[in-house]
Amino acid sequence: MQEQVGELLTAILERNELRADDLISVWFTATPDLHSDFPAAAARALGITDVPLICAQELDITGAMERVVRVLAHVETDLSRAGIAHVYLGAAGALRKDIAQ
């Protein structure tokens, strides 16, 4: 979990030209089949230590994609909504083909 979530957070920051100092708070959700660690632990391992982080579990919906962690980051940025890069790695790109970059 730590490696994959770390990769996702790094991609979000890099693609949006953000730094950890730009983060206000971060919400993580994970599908019910993921229970080895808290996704927020990956953020702490990256040095994101002074930002509120929260983890929650996705609804257990029959047929939903498994092994998915989602990130909702509240950030300070001058980017417009259209300028934000929404990051979907691996198979998760199929979840939102309309905005996956």
Whether the CB-CB separation of 1 and 55 falls below 8 Å is answered with no
Instruction: Look at the domain 1-94 and name its fold.
Output: 60s Ribosomal Protein L30; Chain: A; (3.30.1330)
Residue 93 reports pLDDT greater than 80: no
Distance separating alpha carbons of residues 5 and 71, to the nearest angstrom? 9
- 53-57 and 69-75 beta bridge pairing: unpaired
Q: Among all chains, which residue has been given the structure tokens 């993580």?
A: 28
User: What are the pLDDT digits (tens) for 48-74?
Assistant: 999 999 999 999 999 999 999 999 999
Q: What is the pLDDT of residue 100?
A: 59
**All structural domains of the chain with their residue ranges:** 1-94
Q: Tens of pLDDT along 10-29?
A: 999 999 999 999 999 999 99
The structure tokens 């509120």 sit at 52
Give the global pTM.
Answer: 0.90
> Which residues have C-beta within 8 Å of that of residue 65, sequence separation ≥ 6?
31, 91, 92, 94, 95
